[in-house]
Amino acid sequence: MINQHPHVRFNPLNQSWVLVSPHRTERPWQGLVEDTPQETSLPYNPSCYLCPGNARAGGVRNPHYSGTFVFDNDFAALRPETPAGEFREGDLLLARNESGRCRVVCFSPRHDLTLARMEVEAIRAVVDTWCEEFAQLAAQPNVRAVQIFENRGALMGCSNPHPHGQIWADASVPDGLLREVTSQAAYFEKHRRTLLEDYWRLEISKEERVVCANEHFVVVVPFWAVWPFECLLISRRPVPSLLELTAAGRHGLAEILRRLTIRYDNLFKTSFPYTMGFHQQPTDRNVYPGFHLHAHFYPPLLRSATVRKFMVGYELMAMPQRDITPEAAASQLRALPELHYLDT
Ligand code: H2U
Ligand code: ZN
């Protein structure tokens, strides 16, 4: 049985390997114990730059918004007005100007909420906002990829607990997306079905790595997960982006996001930190057969609200490594209730 021995697992989406060492879960090292991050409870915070009516850096004042609210990042990493430019010296020094646009998406006017604490209808409004932003950014001539993501919690370097995410639109297709574009295209060429459709069907039939599912989406701890409680959220229908979801599909996405984030919070009875993001087909107007909408959740926590995994040593030098198996992680997440612990 593979699960009792150290082994490596292959990630067919990005063509990389992860080392799994199940026998190590009993070792004495207990990891770094960090202070539990302070949880906020006020619906409005006068010093928050995302709360309605407050001033942001640079002096712009947020409107008194009541749903979602989107603005251009005041400290954008990519800027639309960047001129074309290239630098090259032999085969060693190569650089290129990169233009793009960075947006910040407030999920709610309430400073004290998170996706896990929002109603399905409110999360549905976030999904609709993601769709509108994706469509608008994709329509711009110099945008070839749109990355929607959320960075949650101080442990992930998130600067502000006010529920928000970001969208970076880029003039070129970033490496992380490109790798998944390439492997999905190769799989489709060979099998005439998308990699992720075959994958979710396989996981649904096996059950052991499934966390939760509804009519439109399936959430698994992927066979090749790197982070202890990493999850992969896959649309059942092989659509290339959020825009091809039906109204029912958008609702299904809101529902499954709520259920997954509640399970995460319930795992260690904490507001669970993570980085999540959607992978959607590039927006350069090429055709991408086999590209299948999905989202990755990468949470850093390992054993409690304070013990986190670090990517260090062998992992930075060679390949990522995990102790707890993806199957054990999925079984823990699956066993949790979908009622938030603060509501019980
Ligand atoms: P985090 O999700 O990593 O916390 O980032 C929040 C973003 O908000 C960050 O990219 C931006 C920062 O540049 N920001 C503004 O656009 N205006 C502000 O007044 C403060 C922060
Ligand atoms: Zn706020």
Domains detected in the chain? 39-337 (3.30.428.10)
- Report residue 324's pLDDT band, with 50, 70 and 90 as the boundaries: very high
Q: Is residue 32's pLDDT more than 70? A: no
Over residues 288-295, mean pLDDT: 97
Closest-CA residue, ligand 1 atom 1, reads 158
Position 30 scores a pLDDT of 47
85 near 106, Cβ under 8 Å? no
Active site (annotated) includes residue 111: no
- Ligand 1 pocket at CB < 6 A: 49, 56-57, 73-75, 104, 151, 158-160, 164, 166
Over residues 320-330, mean pLDDT: 96
273 near 153, Cβ under 8 Å? yes
- Report residue 39's pLDDT band, with 50, 70 and 90 as the boundaries: low
- Report the separation in Å between the CA atom of 73 and the middle of ligand 1, taken as the mean of its atom positions: 6
Cα–Cα distance, 170 to 1 (Å, whole number): 45
| Share of residues in the chain with pLDDT > 70 (%) | 95
Beta bridge partners of residue 61, listed in sequence order: 55
Position 264 scores a pLDDT of 98
What confidence tens digit (pLDDT) does each residue in 188-199 have?
999 999 999 999
Residues near ligand 2 ion, CB 5 Å cutoff: 45, 48, 50-51, 111, 162
Backbone phi, then psi, for 308, in 5-degree steps? -110, 160
Q: Is residue 177's pLDDT more than 90? A: yes
- Report the separation in Å between the CA atom of 295 and the middle of ligand 1, taken as the mean of its atom positions: 22
| Share of residues in the chain with pLDDT > 90 (%) | 90
Indicate which ligand has the atom closest to the C-alpha of 72: 1
Of residues 28 and 339, more confidently modeled: 339
The whole-chain average pLDDT of the chain stands at 94
Cα–Cα distance, 299 to 156 (Å, whole number): 8
Over residues 2-28, mean pLDDT: 88
- Report the separation in Å between the CA atom of 63 and the middle of ligand 1, taken as the mean of its atom positions: 17
Cα–Cα distance, 233 to 199 (Å, whole number): 11
**pTM for the full predicted model:** 0.95
19, two tokens: 């080392």
- Report residue 157's pLDDT band, with 50, 70 and 90 as the boundaries: confident
Q: Is residue 78's pLDDT more than 70? A: yes
Over residues 85-90, mean pLDDT: 97
Which residue of the set 111, 162, 164, 294 is catalytic? 164
Position 263 scores a pLDDT of 98
- Report residue 53's pLDDT band, with 50, 70 and 90 as the boundaries: very high
Position 41 scores a pLDDT of 74
194, two tokens: 């998308």
Q: Going by DSSP bridges, is the β-strand pair 93-96/100-106 parallel, antiparallel, or unpaired?
A: unpaired
Position 50 scores a pLDDT of 97
Position 148 scores a pLDDT of 98
What confidence tens digit (pLDDT) does each residue in 115-136 have?
999 999 999 999 999 999 999 9
Q: Which of 61, 147, 160 most suits a substitution to test ligand 1, by most atoms within 8 Å of the C-beta?
A: 160
- Sheet (strand 217-220) strand order: 69-72, 100-106, 164-170, 145-152, 274-279, 294-298, 231-235, 217-220, 210-213
Over residues 58-82, mean pLDDT: 96
Q: Is residue 307's pLDDT more than 60? A: yes
Position 28 scores a pLDDT of 55
Cα–Cα distance, 216 to 249 (Å, whole number): 6
Return the ligand 1 atom nearest residue 49 CA: 19
- Picking from 115, 103, 101, 106, the residue whose alpha carbon sits closest to that of residue 53 is 106
Residues 6 or more apart whose Cβ sits within 8 Å of residue 259: 212, 214, 338
